[in-house]
Structure 1
Amino acid sequence: MDPLSTSEGGISLEKYRVKNAPDVAYYIPDFVTEQEGKYLLNQVYAAPKPKWTHLSNRRLQNWGGLPHPKGMIAEGLPKWLDVYAKKIARLGVFGDHIPNHVLVNEYQPGQGIMPHEDGPLFHPVVTTISLGSHTFLDFYKRREENDADSQPSLEEATSNKQDLNEPFLSLLLEPYSLLILQDSMYTGHLHGIAERTADVTASTVANLSATGYRVEQEIERTCRVSLTIRYFPKTLKLKLQFGKR
């Protein structure tokens, strides 16, 4: 039986809501089984080599098309991803839509991603299945460009030995889990993954009580693969002719 199903046959997310985080984050442990996780990893690594894009700090795969401000030439998701896109769609977080894009990221120990936002191209919801290793997803308060008086100068930050981008909250993402970010957690904050080989839990881990870990516990990272499953509303049927009017 689906662990998310209620006695009425519907799906309830409320018990998975991270109450110590701003609106809205849901953390669902064991969204996929260990067997499903192994199957998904096998499919990721069975992809043709040209499917991988190599960056300086990780490598990735795009499925469903290449997002572009002018639109995405939609490609059908392979069955092994479509199954989970539809499973997430049944949670209702994308409204009546079914996710049509999956970004696969591989992080080796010590690799991460700088604080960033996913931007307005996608429906303002992001969902992520974690496989392999855990990670800490760190959140940073957005600094208003017009609020210069509230921003510490470089000299002040250096003298106080403060990080200009210190996270105010973290989420511990365990293997097989699903993370859902909506509203201000999507649009109001930056998120990133620090380049570490191990993490130490702290009181700033908002979902710690939903995991099997305690405060001040060190967790070694291994290779992590994330499936970021999203809905891209602006799709095109014809091939884009970039550079032409």
Structure 2
Amino acid sequence: MSNTSADLPPGGFYLPSFISSEEEAGLVSHIDAGEWSMELKRRVQHFGYHYDYRARTITSDAYLGPLPGWLRHLNERLVAKGLFASAPDQVIANEYQPRQGISAHVDCVPCFDDTIVSLSLLSQCEMVFRERRGGAKLTVVLEPCSAVVMTGAARYEWTHEIPARKSDGIDGIKVHRARRVSLTFRKVV
């Protein structure tokens, strides 16, 4: 399976090797030094704003403070590459152990701007996109150090998910998952 923008819904882009393995190790070190929340079936950390999963919203009292310095260089890169008009101000770190995933969803429309960027760290996995009206399905393998960008139809008209399983079938080969961490960058509206 090739990872190209053609494999994604319109407005979706795959950026292989968006960061180096050295940057990946530094990010994981910073994340693991932080405090994990167990509010979900997987561990999460919020930066900038806390997203309320139950209410599915962000309120003004959810502001946690500016993003830590170790995330700012990635923000600058996202803006410099034209992926965001201004720096994202909300980041979620999600940890996925084998057999953990995230159900099909569209990131909160009234909460976040038009661009969502998810950076994959440590282990590959398959992300599944499903057209909300029409039923089409597309998959992309997210390699470590890669980023997937969702704008336009990919952001609003397709759900995305990480199926909860311990392996993925990639190019006809069963690939076991290991610990994976993602950083999702968003701009609060």
Shared fold, TM over 0.5: yes
Residue number in structure 1 paired with 2:143 = 174
Residue number in structure 1 paired with 2:98 = 109
Q: Share of identical aligned residues, percent? A: 29
Cα distance in structure 1, aligned partners of 2:58 and 2:182: 24
Please give the root-mean-square deviation of Cα atoms over the aligned residues, in Å: 1.9
Deviation for aligned residue 1:217: 2.0
Distance change (3 Å), C-alpha of 1:167 and 1:224: farther
1:58 pairs, out of 26, 42, 45, with 42
Residue number in structure 2 paired with 1:84 = 74
Residue number in structure 2 paired with 1:190 = 159
| CA deviations over 1:193-227 (Å, ceiling 9, x no partner) | 111111002xxxxxxxxxxxxx2122110000000
On the 8 A contact 1:25/1:180 being kept in 2, the answer is yes
Q: Runs of 4 or more off by more than 2 Å in structure 1?
A: 67-74
Aligned length: 180
| CA deviations over 1:66-121 (Å, ceiling 9, x no partner) | 244443536111111111111111111222x1111110000001100111110211
The structure with the greater share of residues assigned to strand is 2
Query: Is it true that 1:99 corresponds to 2:84 in the alignment?
Result: no
Unaligned ranges ≥5, structure 2: 52-56
Matches within 5 A, 1:1-245: 18-47=5-34, 49=35, 52-67=36-51, 68-71=57-60, 72-73=62-63, 75-95=65-85, 97-120=86-109, 121-143=111-133, 168-201=137-170, 215-233=171-189
TM-score (norm 2): 0.88
Distance change (3 Å), C-alpha of 1:105 and 1:114: same
Deviation for aligned residue 1:25: 1.4
TM-score (norm 1): 0.69
